[in-house]
Homo-oligomer: A and B are copies of this chain.
Amino acid sequence: MQTYLECIPCFVRQAYDALRQVTDDEELMHRALRRVLEASSEFEMNLSPPEMARTIHRIIREETGATDPYATIKAESTAVALRLAESARPVINGADDPFKMALRFSIAGNIMDFALTSKWDRMNLSTFLDDTRLHILDNDAVEQLRTAVKNARSILFLGDNAGETVFDRLLIEQMPQAKVVYAVKGAPIINDATMADAVAAGLDEMAELIDNGSDAPGTLLPLCSPDFKNRFFETELIIAKGQANYETLSESDRPIFFLTQVKCPVIGRDLGKPVGSWVVQYHAGGTP
């Protein structure tokens, strides 16, 4: 997906919000914001928005001198998610359709993304469970995913944020786990899960864990490691979580199921769905 002009004010707002999360030093913030403004002015709109997010967060890391400015936030997210998952598991096990209920929790977990709003917080448990149970899903797409998961010999699951990983685990528990490979980021970027975050979430007990070798949000293939690219092109089915994976892979020639919440109007327009929607969408790619 390309970048739209509407994304530009959002980049600057995200950079400001992200800086506020990691520093109180106004001078440092100003220096970083100035670099973000310069970089935004030079940004090529045919690139996808996560390319700009990568630049912004490189600037933040360089200016703060922190290699992982969101480490604490990620650890908290994982801790909150682990507590929520304790309540989620009996709901899934008691459901008429555990796979579909687990899918719901995996998408619900996508709320653990502060790149956009920096406002998600320790949510009220009963609200969270109700919202997860009741949100509208595209049933045809759910059935399509169920069949694809059953038939595929290999599944590459592209993770998104720390904490969200815990809910992805609930979904993977409803799949033939032996054929699932779960991929995280190669280096810290915003609150995206890295290997350490995924291990903290217990993902290593469920699936083979790999990293993509990149420090960009989503999956910018040219920046990924050769190993990851091999997996990406050899796997039979890809499941991609979150908006950034949609933004970076919406034109891929590989077959992908996108699972995400729609949190921004630009992506909503691209997907043809309103903000707030939960998306299960199959992208056939060029490979039948």
A residues adjacent to B (C-beta < 8 A): 5-6, 8-9, 12-13, 15-16, 26, 29-30, 33-35, 37-38, 40-42, 45
Instruction: Tell me the complex Cα distance, A35–B8, Å.
Output: 13
Instruction: Flag if A16 contacts B5 (CB, 8 Å).
Output: yes
A34: which B residues are within 8 A, CB to CB? 41-42
Given contacts A37-B40, A38-B41, A41-B41, contact A6 B13 (CB under 8 A): no
Instruction: Flag if A13 contacts B16 (CB, 8 Å).
Output: no
Instruction: Flag if A16 contacts B26 (CB, 8 Å).
Output: no
Identify A30's interface contact among B5, B16, B38, CB under 8 A. Answer: B5
Smallest CB-CB separation from A5: which chain B residue?
B29
A12: which B residues are within 8 A, CB to CB? 8-9, 12-13, 37, 40
Instruction: Flag if A9 contacts B13 (CB, 8 Å).
Output: yes
Instruction: Tell me the complex Cα distance, A40–B29, Å.
Output: 14
Instruction: Flag if B9 contacts A30 (CB, 8 Å).
Output: no
Smallest CB-CB separation from A14: which chain B residue?
B9
Instruction: Tell me the complex Cα distance, A9–B19, Å.
Output: 12
Expressed in whole angstroms, the minimum distance between the Cβ of A39 and any Cβ of chain B is 9
A15: which B residues are within 8 A, CB to CB? 9
Expressed in whole angstroms, the minimum distance between the Cβ of A34 and any Cβ of chain B is 5
Instruction: Tell me the complex Cα distance, A42–B30, Å.
Output: 11
A29: which B residues are within 8 A, CB to CB? 5
Instruction: Flag if B8 contacts A33 (CB, 8 Å).
Output: yes
A37: which B residues are within 8 A, CB to CB? 8, 12, 37-38, 40-41
Smallest CB-CB separation from A41: which chain B residue?
B37
Identify A16's interface contact among B8, B35, B42, CB under 8 A. Answer: B8
Sample of 8 further A-B pairs with CB below 8 A, known A5-B30, A9-B16:
A5-B33, A6-B16, A8-B16, A8-B33, A9-B9, A9-B12, A37-B40, A38-B41
Instruction: Tell me the complex Cα distance, A42–B13, Å.
Output: 17
Instruction: Tell me the complex Cα distance, A6–B15, Å.
Output: 11
Smallest CB-CB separation from A45: which chain B residue?
B30
A16: which B residues are within 8 A, CB to CB? 5-6, 8-9
